[in-house]
Amino acid sequence: MSEKSNFIWNIAELLRDSFKRGKYQDVILPLTVLRRIDCVLAPTKEKVLAVNAKLKAKKLEKPYNALCKASGFAFYNTSKFDFEKLLDDAPNLAANLRAYIKHFSENMLEVLEKFDFDNTISKLDEKSLLFLVLERFKNIDLHPDAVSNHEMGYIFEELIRKFNEALDENPGEHFTPREVVRLMADLLLSQDKEALSRNHIVRTICDPCCGTGGMLTIAKERITEINPKAEVYLFGQESQAETYAVCKSDLYMKSADGRDAENIKYGSTLSKDQHSARYFDYLLANPPYGKEWKMDQEAVEKARFNSLTPLLFGSP
């Protein structure tokens, strides 16, 4: 795991004279996610292209389900390019990379757009770094057979820790060490092991500031260790665009139905809780203590006033 994360971090050395240290993540995070996706989709790439060609010939307007079935996931890419073929056409690399990204299914494209990577592609191209950086990423195998989901989570967290150090930020604002998360999950579930062992168990878990999703996935793992047949549904919300994109893309790659990824929402839970209508069996969170909340203050105070109004003035 550390070998893979160090390899990826060392790619940042190419950026030293062209990007500020605090901007390395603008390059490294989206390309790590893209390379992971590229490796995940590689085994079904030709099948997806063949199915897409047939669907186009039939002029089918809604190909999503058929293409997802071909890819084996709840997303797909219909571009002829992968990392290998992108590098075969160096003069048109920037244009082809953009085309490759645009040919993702809408759900994954919406996630990737949170990285604002188009602007980064332009900067890399202007500095003659795009080919060099992409070539380095092509040489690392991030397929789940080579890097498990568990290991990939560690890699993302290690990278984010290093980015935070470069920005002189507290890493705890962005992720919680997995050892701590395991302890939290064990404490949370310690009184429920008997109930969780029963047949036909369904449980929901929410993290209202989920970051890269480590708390959610570890809590789910702990429940399924107790009962492999348990149905566990994850829900979360994240206000930081890059970590939201990492979390949601990672969950899309962890299951064929993508249901957990669809339950991850973007935005501040304080000012716009997108799960406010739901109740959950478990809630885990590492709130971003010490962070300014002025952007949310008006919405929070309004909600607090509205909740107190019936007590102060009686129900209408």
Per-residue confidence (pLDDT) for residue 177, from 0 to 100: 77
Cα 188 off chain centre by: 24
Per-residue confidence (pLDDT) for residue 307, from 0 to 100: 53
Per-residue confidence (pLDDT) for residue 48, from 0 to 100: 98
Per-residue confidence (pLDDT) for residue 131, from 0 to 100: 97
Residue 36 to residue 143: CA distance in whole angstroms: 6
CATH of domain 2-166: 1.20.1260
Beta strands 231-238; 264-266: pairing state? parallel
Q: Which fold has domain 173-288+299-306?
A: Rossmann fold (3.40.50)
Single-letter residue type at 39:
C
Along the 316 residues of the chain, how does pLDDT read in single tens digits?
A: 578 888 898 898 899 888 888 888 999 999 999 999 999 999 999 999 999 999 989 887 789 999 999 999 999 999 999 999 999 999 999 999 999 999 999 999 999 999 999 999 999 999 999 999 999 999 999 999 999 888 898 888 888 888 877 666 555 555 677 788 899 999 999 999 999 999 999 999 999 999 999 999 999 999 999 999 999 999 999 999 999 999 999 999 998 899 999 999 999 998 889 999 999 999 999 877 666 666 776 666 666 545 544 544 455 5
Per-residue confidence (pLDDT) for residue 304, from 0 to 100: 56
Does residue 218 contact residue 178 with C-beta atoms inside 8 Å? yes
Q: What is the torsion angle, in degrees rounded to the nearest 10, for the CA atoms of residue 2, residue 25, residue 264 and residue 292?
A: 110
Residue 225 has a CB neighbour count (10 Å cut-off) of: 12
Per-residue confidence (pLDDT) for residue 303, from 0 to 100: 63
Per-residue confidence (pLDDT) for residue 292, from 0 to 100: 67
List all residues 6 or more positions away from 271 whose beta carbon is below 8 Å from its beta carbon.
295, 296, 298, 299, 300
Per-residue confidence (pLDDT) for residue 160, from 0 to 100: 84
Coil, helix or strand at residue 280: coil
Per-residue confidence (pLDDT) for residue 308, from 0 to 100: 46
Residue 18 to residue 3: CA distance in whole angstroms: 25
Coil, helix or strand at residue 206: strand
Per-residue confidence (pLDDT) for residue 174, from 0 to 100: 55
Residue 272 to residue 250: CA distance in whole angstroms: 24
Per-residue confidence (pLDDT) for residue 169, from 0 to 100: 57
Q: What are the residue ranges spanned by the domains of the chain?
A: 2-166, 173-288+299-306
Does residue 222 contact residue 89 with C-beta atoms inside 8 Å? no
Residue 163 to residue 246: CA distance in whole angstroms: 14
Residue 13 to residue 15: CA distance in whole angstroms: 5
Residue 48 to residue 73: CA distance in whole angstroms: 11
